[in-house]
Structure 1
Amino acid sequence: MHAFIYKSLRKAETYVYLVARDDFARLPPPLRAQLGTLVFVLEVTLTPGRKLAREDVAVVRRNLATQGFHLQFPPTQLDPLPDA
C-alpha cells in the first residue's frame, strides 16, 4: 500500500497521509479548513512490517483503507513542571 504524506503549514508537526496523491477531496471540509495549506513531503510504501517514527503502520493502513486518509498529530508534550 502506498501513502502520500503532506505537512500542514498551519498546524505544526501535523501530517496527512493520503491513499492517492493530491486527493484532498477525501478530507472532510472542516478538517481541510483547519489544516490550511498542505505541502507534499514524501511517498512511502506501507508494508505490514514497516516501522514509522511516530505512527503504528497497522493503524495508518487501516485508516487509509477505510477512509482514504490518516491524520498524524504532534507528539504529546509532558508537563515541564510536574507536581511536587
Structure 2
Amino acid sequence: MLCAVYKTAKKEGMYLYLPEKDKFDDVPEALLEQFGKPVLVMLLPLNKREALGRVDKETLITALREKGFYLQLPPKQEDWLAEHRVALGLSPREEAKKF
C-alpha cells in the first residue's frame, strides 16, 4: 500500500496521510481549513516498512481504509519550567508583578 504524506505550514509536526495522492475527498472540510494548504512531503510505501516514525503502522492502515485519511498531530511539548515550579510547590506560571 502506498500513501501520500502532506505537511502544513501552520503547525510544525502535523501531517496528513492519504491513501492516494491529491485525493482529499474523505477529509472533512473543517479539517482542511484548519490544516491549510497541504504540501506533499513524500509518497510512502507502507508494505516496505516495518515501522514508521511516530505513527503505528496498523493504526495508520486502518484509518486510511476506514476513514480515508490519518492526521498525525505534533508531539506535546513539555514545559519543564512549569513542571519544576509545581515540584517546588509553586503555581505553574509566575504571577505578573504589580508595580
Query: Deviation above 6 Å: which 4+ runs of structure 1?
Result: none
Higher RCO, Cα 8 Å, sep 6+: 1
Distance 2:42 2:25 in 1: 19
Distance 1:48 1:78 in 2: 33
TM-score by length of 1: 0.91
- Counterpart in the other structure of 1:66: 66
Percent pairwise identity:
36
Distance 1:40 1:7 in 2: 7
Structure with larger Rg: 2
SS of 2:59 mapped into structure 1: helix
Contact map agreement 1:48 1:57 (CA 8 A) in 2: no
SS of 1:31 mapped into structure 2: helix
Q: Which runs of 5+ in 1 are unaligned?
A: none
**Aligned-CA RMSD value:** 1.5
- Counterpart in the other structure of 1:52: 52
